Amino acid sequence: MFHASLLEPYRESSWAETLQEPPSPVEVEGELEYEVREILDSKMESRQLFYLVDGVGYGPEERTWEPATNVEHAKDAVADFHRMHPRRPSPRDIPTPCRRPLPAPSCPRGPPIASNHLQLSPFDTKRPPYVPHQELRHRGDHLS
């Protein structure tokens, strides 16, 4: 609680009129983009490179993490950042997809021991239940 003598009527601040609106985006190659003042940091997240961007005409509370693809036209700012911080994540740290050949499908080894043996195609994913090798030989003895 305050005593009524301590209260004053509201007066609009004179500095509120001096605040400037942030600059509007500029059209570059058919897309709207904002001017980058400086790249402040970088990080890898979900196999993607992000930069902490400080935009011209924006305060520190409006800095944003942007994917590297969003700052392609700010090459000088990105180069300056990596020159000053060579150990921070950079485009060379982006993992590339493996181009290894697929492993050969597993094939059954040799001819079946018994004529009632289930032969698998190399492309079948289901396998018969495990039966010890000696048991298979004994089962097939009466068939030969």
Domains of the chain: 26-93 (2.40.50.40)
Q: What are phi and psi of 15, to 5 degrees?
A: -75, -20
Nearest CA-CA partner of 115 in 136, 85, 86: 136
3-class DSSP state of 76: helix
pLDDT digits (tens, 9 = 90+) for 37-88: 999 999 999 999 999 999 998 889 999 999 999 999 999 999 999 999 999 9
The DSSP letter of residue 41 is E
Indicate left, alpha or beta for 57 from its phi (over 0: left) and psi (-120 to 50: alpha).
left
- Tally Cβ neighbours within 10 Å of residue 74: 21
Statement: residue 130 has pLDDT above 60: no
Q: pTM of the full predicted structure?
A: 0.56
H or E segment and range at residue 43: strand 36-45
